[in-house]
Amino acid sequence: MPIPMRQIPANLLVPGQYQEIDNSLAGAQGDIKKALMVGYKLPSSEAESGKPINVLEGFKAHQLFGYGSPAAIMAETFLALNKVEELYVLPIPEPEAGTAWKKRFTVSASNAEPGAVGIAINGQFFEAAVAAGADAQAVAAAIAARINSELTLPVIAEVDTEHPESIVVMCNVKGTVGNSNSVNIEATAPGVTVEEGAATAGTGVTNIKPFLAGLGETRYNFFASDFSDAKNIKDCSDELESRYGATRQIGGRMYVALAGPLGSKTEAGSMLCKAKDANSPHIVLLPRSNNPDLPCAWAAAWCASACRILADDPAANTYDTKVTGLIGGQDFSFWERQKLLEAGIATYRLDTTGNVLIERLVTSYTENTDGGRDTSYLDVQVPETVDAVRTYINAEAKKRFKTWKLASTEENFGSGAKVMTCGVWRSYLCELYSEAFIKAKQWCQDFEGYKKSILVEIKKDSKTRLEYSHQPNLIGQFYIGAGLLQFK
């Protein structure tokens, strides 16, 4: 059969040696995975709302999105753990009608002696110096100055002009996002006391749906979001489901941290209650609970640690993956972890030094459309591997079968013919399944069962459309060994 040429005309008459260069069969499949952090920027920041920005350095994130902004904290946290994946940040504006979280502290001083005031903000500890004989106003000013000197904190401090012995610590962005801040101030200098006032909750949440829609068709393989309210989780679920669908095929998984007590499904504000309405195979809920680190830091850190494993192997077991830098204050019991997993919330355990280790990374999908228990997407490795299998099949087909014709019969078209038939496609799927998905990558199993599942046909009355169904048997995760020891 004639060799198909694209650049050398069949009627060429000029003498010479000519060779076309075709790289379609060279190289291996692979791409750089992208991660996207979704969080608030400061109103004063230079970043454009809703425009993803590639970030390479943590300090640059604070310059772009505002010092101490959730978006900058997420970027800094991610990059501290993972510089392999390509990081982008989607800056979200604060809610226009919202209010900021605030907490008041009042200083008293009498015959103050040299010492310090200890300040703890979201698990970070530092001190403000107290001079001998300092009055309450001087100590309050020193505390506010010390807090504001830490540029990357998510809060700022102001001395009350009407009551200069009082300091008001407030979140640097408006909205409910600030309600997870933990601020404690305690004097150790003799003669100085600091009284803690009640906190005023922040109000308002930005609707991130239009910003997600604005992402277009760029594929982000991993997401971390600082928005855990039911409305935004639902919108994220819808967007991720659309991306996972057959017409877009740019799937990705999102990590969201839940604050609050374990509670129950009927206890408002608890993690179990928040989880019951998520139900998405593309959203991973994290039990941040009441730990000191901010939810945005939890989401970014888990995403960075997990995706570094899953980017190389979507079927990899993530058990005992260390999430470096988090303060794991809450150590859930066996039965609490069981309830978390049943509710579609991931679990962790603590090592002997308090490090957070991923135990089981599950998705929030727990029920089918009829409300029945459904474990088909229990572990995050399932949607990750399904996405990877589909992407590999499609990419390899584009590489091998570009410019091929389609025949509905199994004729002998000659050696090297670029003609697709049902038999050729079946052989292609079998080859990938055996050589790539089982031997090379260990994503799948049961080759004989897979072969029997393949159905290929040319769509009736069409000369351009091949249709097929197949049933890959995904490899599982060795999490549980259950034995019965009967001694005599």
Task: Go through 460-472 and write b for each residue having 16 or more CB atoms within 10 A of its CB, e for each that does not.
Answer: eeeeeebeeebeb
How far apart, in whole angstroms, are the C-alpha atoms of residue 175 and residue 170?
Answer: 11
Please, which pLDDT band fits residue 263 given cuts at 50, 70 and 90?
very high
What does the block give as tokens for 57? Answer: 């350095």
CB distance 223 to 35 below 8 Å:
yes
The amino acid occupying position 227 is F
For the stretch 455-483, pLDDT in tens is 999 999 999 999 999 999 999 999 999 99
Q: What is the pLDDT of residue 13?
A: 86
Flag whether pLDDT at 4 surpasses 80. Answer: no
* Packing angle of the helix pair 295-310, 70-81 (nearest 10 deg): 30
Percentage of the chain surpassing pLDDT 70? 98
> Among residues 214, 340, 342, 326, which one has the least CA distance to residue 271?
340
Please, which pLDDT band fits residue 241 given cuts at 50, 70 and 90?
very high
Report field, pTM of the whole predicted structure over 0.75: yes
* Packing angle of the helix pair 70-81, 58-65 (nearest 10 deg): 170
- Neighbouring CB atoms inside 10 A of 327's CB total 16
E strands along 238-350, which residues?
253-259, 283-289, 322-323, 347-350
For the stretch 44-99, pLDDT in tens is 998 999 999 999 999 999 999 999 999 999 999 999 999 999 999 999 999 999 99
CB distance 420 to 406 below 8 Å:
yes
Helix (H) or strand (E) holding 193: strand 192-200
Flag whether pLDDT at 1 surpasses 60. Answer: no
Flag whether pLDDT at 355 surpasses 80. Answer: yes
Window from 8-22, 148-162, 341-355, 473-487 with minimum mean pLDDT: 8-22
Q: Give, in order, the Cα–Cα distances in Å from 116 to each of 131, 143, 188, 309, 447.
A: 8, 10, 6, 44, 69
Left (φ > 0), alpha (ψ -120 to 50) or beta: where does 30 sit? left
Question: What is the residue whose two structure tokens read 């209010």?
Answer: 99
Query: 257: Cβ–Cβ under 8 A, 6 or more apart, which residues?
Result: 228, 285, 286, 287, 288, 295, 296, 298, 299, 302
Q: Give, in order, the Cα–Cα distances in Å from 159 to each of 120, 141, 164, 165, 342.
A: 18, 6, 6, 7, 47
Q: Give, in order, the Cα–Cα distances in Å from 215 to each of 50, 95, 242.
A: 8, 20, 12
How far apart, in whole angstroms, are the C-alpha atoms of residue 254 and residue 269?
Answer: 21
What does the block give as tokens for 473? Answer: 């048997």
Torsion, Cα of 338, 341, 345, 351 (10° steps): 60
Question: What is the residue whose two structure tokens read 């490899």?
Answer: 475
> Among residues 46, 51, 96, which one has the least CA distance to residue 67?
46
Helix (H) or strand (E) holding 275: helix 271-275
Q: Give, in order, the Cα–Cα distances in Å from 28 to each of 24, 392, 395, 400, 439.
A: 10, 11, 10, 12, 16
Please, which pLDDT band fits residue 29 given cuts at 50, 70 and 90?
low
Q: What is the pLDDT of residue 30?
A: 65
CB distance 303 to 384 below 8 Å:
no
Q: Taking residues 273-287, what's their average pLDDT?
A: 95
CB distance 286 to 298 below 8 Å:
yes
Please, which pLDDT band fits residue 2 given cuts at 50, 70 and 90?
low
For the stretch 294-344, pLDDT in tens is 999 999 999 999 999 999 999 999 999 999 999 777 889 999 999 999 999
Q: Taking residues 398-421, what's their average pLDDT?
A: 92
Going by the DSSP 8-state scheme, the letter that residue 379 receives in this structure is B
Q: What is the pLDDT of residue 19?
A: 82
The amino acid occupying position 185 is I
How far apart, in whole angstroms, are the C-alpha atoms of residue 143 and residue 184?
Answer: 12
Q: What angle do CA 332, 336, 341 make, to 5 degrees?
A: 110
**All structural domains of the chain:** 34-93+207-383 (no CATH), 102-200 (3.90.1160), 405-488 (no CATH)
Flag whether pLDDT at 146 surpasses 90. Answer: yes
Helix (H) or strand (E) holding 223: strand 222-225
What does the block give as tokens for 271? Answer: 């993690």
Percentage of the chain surpassing pLDDT 90? 88
Backbone angles phi, psi at 116, to 5 degrees: -150, 165
Q: What is the pLDDT of residue 17?
A: 83
Rg over alpha carbons for the chain, rounded to the nearest Å, is 28
